[in-house]
Structures are given as structure tokens and as C-alpha cells.
Structure 1
Amino acid sequence: MKSLEIVYASVTNMVIHYCLEFAAPSIPDGAYRLVLGYHDITAKLETGEEAIFQKAAFGLSLPSRTVKGRQDLNFNIDNVSGEVSIMIDNALAADEEVKVTLRKYNEHDLSAPAEPPIVMTAFATELDENQVKVSATFEDLVNTAFPIRRYTSEIARGLVWL
């Protein structure tokens, strides 16, 4: 059994740490990491790299399982200073792709995420009085062309009649 399955199935007071990571080239240190809770944690990523997640208050709504193709993750981050919103807005304004990664850790095992991470791409932010609302989406597989590589006359000269 996986460690999270044990936590879900048992009546214990083990905590699941929900961690968010925002990654873009313009973000300082390449990524901004948050953990839902009152204490910073140091945990290993799936790559084995050690990372510090800063304490934060945020709410998230996971996408429902549908066949519509596009699934969105919406979350609100309490952010009085607007730090998160400024970083994401700057990256989106520079046409950078902002990757949002959701990881779950068992409090007794921070050596790796307890489940494979959910990786999405941010597409919108909204700043309220003291909250940042961020929307991210999975890759839209239903509307993606197949094959992804298009054979045109520039890369395949045999397509043009001589």
C-alpha cells in the first residue's frame, strides 16, 4: 500500500502536506514553493533535489475527472503583499510558460512525494484585496493535433510538386 492510502484508510493524526511550486525562467531561483500549513518544510522532489517550501495559506479545488479534454485547477493564495501575483503576472506578460506543480507529502516521509506530482500550466491570475486567484490547466489532449509534428514543404521537400 502507498503511504497516502494508509493515511486515508486509517484513523491517525498523520498530516498530508500539500505543496505548490511555481516555475518559470523569470522567477528568482527558478521556482517559488509553498506548503499549506504553519511551518516551512524541507522535502525532496521527485528528482532527489532538496527544496524548501514556505508556509502559506491557500485553498485549491482539484479538477473533476471528465472527458472534456481541458481540466483546470483553481486555487486561492492568501497573499497580502501580492508577491505571488507579481511573479506570475510578470512571467505571463513575458510570454513565459509558468508551470504549477502540486505535490503531496506524508509528514513522516519527506524523502519523496507520496504520489506522482500533478503538473499544470498557469493561464490566468487575479488579485483581490488580500488573495491571489490562480488558474492552471492540464495539457489539452483532446484538442491537440496528431501527429504533433507537421510535415511542411520547409522540412519535407518531397511534398512540393516539381
Structure 2
Amino acid sequence: MTILERLFASSGTEVIIPTLEITCDAWSEPILLCNGYEDQTCITEDARTLTFVASGIQVALPKRDTSGTQSLRFAIDNVTGQAQSLIDQALEAEEIIRMTFRHYVSSDLSAPAENPLKFVIRDGAMEGSVLQINATFFDMINVAWPRNFYTPEFAPGLKYL
């Protein structure tokens, strides 16, 4: 039984802390948020030490159907408007926005309690002081086919055609 399964089954003094790391090539630094009232300094799976800013985060799981999309809807309290302005900046630069969702346990912030989930943000909208984000697990639409590009560097014989 994992620590998260134990916490879901019977609570105690430990608390599950969900965190979001939102990154984009157009930004100088990522947006780091955690659910709760206190900022959390955590160590990621690749040994980076990050300080997540306290915020209100809600996650709506996808409906179970045969549509083939696996999108989650995140609601983030965004009183200052910083996240909305950064997402608008990334959309104008036509850059991909990536998001990593991690769970930590309050007694052990040295590593995520389970493997992180990685998303690609599809769109975002501001509703009042809340930022609504739609994110997908796998970006099927932007996958190139065929996956290997046949260039002279990959296949040297092409330069003679």
C-alpha cells in the first residue's frame, strides 16, 4: 500500500499537497503553485528545489467516455492576474505551455508521493478572479507523422536525389 492509498483510506496529521509547475519557453521562470494557505518548498523528482506559492487549486477529472480525449480542467485562484498575463504572452508568442502536476505528503517534501503527471495546456480563460485551464495528457493533434523526418542528416543518401 502506497502512502497516498493509506492517506486516502484514513487521514491523520499528514496532508496531501497538490502542486502545479507551469512552464513555457516564452517565460523567464515558471509559475509554481500549491494548494493551501502556506508556501511549500519541495524537491522534485529530478532533485530541483522549488518554492510553490500558496493558492487555491481545483481539479475536475475528465468524463469517462469513448471520445479519446483526456483533458482535465484546472481552476486556479489568480487574484493578481499574473498567470493570465503570462498565458496571454505565451499564446501571442505561439509557444507550447506545459504543466506538471505533483502530489506531496506534508510529512515528506523531499520527493513527490507518486509519479508526476505531465500535461500540455490547450486553453485558458479568466472567469472573475479564477483562471480556468484545460490541459491534456497527450498532445495527439501535434504529433508528427511519420515521426522520423527523413533529412540528409538522418538518411545521408537523400542529398544525392
User: For the superposition of Structure 1 and Structure 2, which TM-score range results when normalised by the shorter chain?
Assistant: 0.7 to 0.9
Residue 79 and residue 11 in structure 1: after superposition, are their counterparts in 2 closer, same or farther (change >3 A)?
A: closer
CA–CA separation in structure 2 for the residues paired with 1:66 and 1:117? 24
Q: Could you tell me the TM-score, scaled by structure 1's length?
A: 0.84
Superposed counterparts of 1:99-110, under 5 Å = 99-110=98-109
- Secondary structure, in 3 states, of the residue corresponding to 1:88? helix
Superposed counterparts of 1:13-162, under 5 Å = 13-28=13-28, 30-64=29-63, 68-141=67-140, 144=143, 147-151=146-150
- Secondary structure, in 3 states, of the residue corresponding to 2:88? helix
Shift of 1:152: 7.4
- Secondary structure, in 3 states, of the residue corresponding to 1:75? strand
Residue 90 and residue 142 in structure 1: after superposition, are their counterparts in 2 closer, same or farther (change >3 A)?
A: closer
CA–CA separation in structure 2 for the residues paired with 1:102 and 1:71? 15
Count of equivalent residues: 161
CA–CA separation in structure 2 for the residues paired with 1:85 and 1:142? 24
| Segment drifting more, 6-15 vs 59-68 | 59-68
Where does structure 2 lack aligned partners over 5 or more consecutive residues? Answer: none
Shift of 1:27: 2.3
1:19 touches 1:36 (CA, 8 Å); kept in 2?
yes
Shift of 1:113: 0.5
The aligned residue for residue 3 of structure 2 is: 3
Residue 110 and residue 150 in structure 1: after superposition, are their counterparts in 2 closer, same or farther (change >3 A)?
A: same
- Secondary structure, in 3 states, of the residue corresponding to 1:8? helix
Shift of 1:25: 2.0
RMSD across aligned C-alpha pairs, in angstroms?
A: 2.7
Q: Percent identity?
A: 37
CA–CA separation in structure 1 for the residues paired with 2:154 and 2:115? 37
Shift of 1:157: 7.8
Q: Could you tell me the TM-score, scaled by structure 2's length?
A: 0.85
Where does structure 1 lack aligned partners over 5 or more consecutive residues? Answer: none
Residue 152 and residue 27 in structure 1: after superposition, are their counterparts in 2 closer, same or farther (change >3 A)?
A: closer
TM-superposition CA deviations, 1:51-73 (whole Å, max 9, x none): 00000012111335666432111
